[in-house]
Amino acid sequence: MASPLLLELAGTALTQLLCFWLPSSVYLATPRLFPAFARRHKTQPSQAEPTASELQHCAKVVLQNQLLGLSLQTLVHVVHSTLLGAAPYAAGPQPSPLGLVRDIALCIPLCECLFYGMHSLLHRPALYRRIHKIHHSFTAPVALAAQYAHPLEHVLTCFVPIMVPPLLVRASVWSMWTFVGTVGFESATLHSGFKVGLLAERHDRHHEVGVRGGYGTFAFLDWVFGTEMRSVEAAGKGRTEGDETGYRD
Ligand SMILES: [Zn+2]
Ligand SMILES: [Zn+2]
């Protein structure tokens, strides 16, 4: 029988394949198969779709980042099992639907707090130029670009906010996989470039205007901390001519 670590990693990889790569492929194929439909439903219809070689490069970076995530997951599993004598995410029978919903409901706000904190940090001028600018090179994002990022950014905004909340709420491995799948699908959708709801249009706008505000997936923490894109633009601190990062030293 496979070891708990191998099962945990295989389940995570399968979840990424089904909930991130598969929907991303559908989002990416749509403008090529149905260009008129895509033009009608794209948030930035005038922007050209990425070329095949750009997509190939993007896919390579995403794959490298996911392998980094699986390596870190291995490290967490080994350290947790060694120090505490148990796997980080409890194995065993599938939890009840109510247990699954409870775990996901607890993980969502924790994930949002961690993501908002890390994402705002990455918008500090020095970190933006060195790290986060890579993710923002897609000013008209496509689904696969959700995980197109510097490896450090992948750890801070993808690995930590997704893998730590299930650990904190002592979720089962089934809940962890469900959460990884939920966030994977959500991030592909938010970056799809299609008008598929307010959250997707909001993150698309974050990429389009680029630089300041709109750090949370949801608007709540941006409202609490006054980092809404609208208020920042109104204050005249958005992208400035001649400075592609939009940040002034
Ligand atoms: Zn950003
Ligand atoms: Zn993004």
Query: Helix, strand, or coil here: 42?
Result: strand
CA 3 / ligand 2 centre spacing (Å): 35
Q: Which ligand is nearest to the CA of 142?
A: 2
Helix, strand, coil percentages for the chain (3-state, nearest 5): 70, 0, 30
**Residue 33 domain-assigned (yes or no):** yes
Q: How confident is the model at residue 45 (pLDDT cuts 50, 70, 90)?
A: confident
Least confident of 29-43, 108-122, 155-169: 29-43
Give the separation between CA 71 and CA 65, rounded to whole angstroms.
10
- What phi and psi values does residue 90 have, to the nearest 5 degrees? -60, 130
For tokens 């794959």, what's the residue? 63
**139 occurs within a structural domain:** yes
Do 168 and 175 meet the contact criterion of CB atoms below 8 Å apart?
Answer: no
- The rounded Å distance from CA 214 to ligand 1 centre is 8
**Residue 95 main-chain phi, psi, to 5 deg:** -70, 165
Q: Examine the pLDDT at 20 and tell me if it is beyond 80.
A: yes
For ligand 2, the distance from its centroid to the CA atom of residue 86, given in whole angstroms, is 35
The answer to whether residue 44 is domain-embedded is no
75 found inside a domain: yes
Which ligand does the CA of 199 lie closest to? 2
Distance 166 CA to ligand 1 centre (A): 24
Using the predicted structure, report yes or no on whether residue 185 has a pLDDT greater than 90: yes
Give the C-alpha separation, 125 to 106, whole Å. 32
Ligand number, closest to the Cα atom of 146: 2
Whole-number Å distance between alpha carbons of 13 and 10: 5
Separation between Cα atoms, residue 14 and residue 111, nearest integer Å:
21
pLDDT at 230 (0 to 100): 66
The per-residue pLDDT for range 238-247, each reduced to its tens digit, is 443 334 444 4
Ligand nearest to the CA of 189: 2
The predicted-structure confidence for 191-225, as pLDDT tens digits, reads as follows: 999 999 999 998 999 998 766 789 999 989 999 99
pLDDT-based confidence at 69, cuts 50/70/90?
very high
Report the half-sphere exposure of 133 (CA within 13 A, side-chain side): 12
> Could you report the per-residue pLDDT of 111-145, keeping only the tens digit for each?
999 999 999 999 999 999 999 999 999 999 999 99
CA of 9 to the centre of ligand 1 (A): 29
Structural contact between residues 110 and 175, judged by C-beta atoms closer than 8 angstroms: no
Considering only residues 142 and 3, tell me which one the structure prediction assigns the higher pLDDT.
Answer: 142
Q: How far apart are the C-alpha atoms of 54 and 52, rounded to whole Å?
A: 5
Q: Determine, yes or no, domain membership for 241.
A: no
Report the first-to-last Cα separation within the chain, whole angstroms: 57
Q: Find the 226 Cα to ligand 2 centroid distance in Å.
A: 20
Q: Which residue has the tokens 């997509």?
A: 55
For the chain, the domain total comes to: 1
Q: Which domain holds residue 153?
A: 4-39+50-234
**Contact present, 206 and 214 (Cβ < 8 Å):** yes
User: Is 70 exceeded by the pLDDT of residue 85?
Assistant: yes
Q: Coil, helix or strand for 136?
A: helix
Give the number of whichever ligand sits closest to the CA of residue 138: 2
| Residue 14: band (very low, low, confident or very high) from pLDDT cuts 50, 70, 90 | very high
Nearest bound ligand to the CA of residue 204 = 2
Q: Using the mean position of ligand 1's atoms as its centre, give its distance from the Cα of residue 156 in Å.
A: 12
Evaluate if residue 249 carries a pLDDT over 60.
Answer: no
User: What is the residue whose two structure tokens read 């394949």?
Assistant: 17
Tokens at residue 18, please?
A: 């089904």
Residue with tokens 């990889």: 13
- The number of residues making up the chain comes to 249
Distance from C-alpha of 85 to C-alpha of 7, rounded to nearest angstrom: 18
Bridge partners, 172 (sequence order): 90
- The predicted-structure confidence for 137-156, as pLDDT tens digits, reads as follows 999 999 999 999 999 999 99
Domain membership of residue 116 (yes or no) is: yes
Ligand closest in space to the Cα of 245 = 1
For residue 88, pLDDT over 60 is answered with yes
Cα 233 to averaged position of ligand 1 atoms, centre (Å): 15
Give the number of whichever ligand sits closest to the CA of residue 158. Answer: 2
CA distance 115 to 159: 10
**Residue 36 pLDDT more than 80?**
yes
- The DSSP symbol for 122 reads H
Ligand nearest to the CA of 141: 2
Q: What is the pLDDT of residue 203?
A: 92
Tell which residue, 46, 24, 36, has the closest CA to residue 189. Answer: 24
User: How far is the centre of ligand 2, averaged over its atoms, from the C-alpha of 234 (Å)?
Assistant: 22
Determine the distance separating the centroid of ligand 1 and the alpha carbon of 207, expressed in angstroms: 7
Distance 215 CA to ligand 1 centre (A): 6
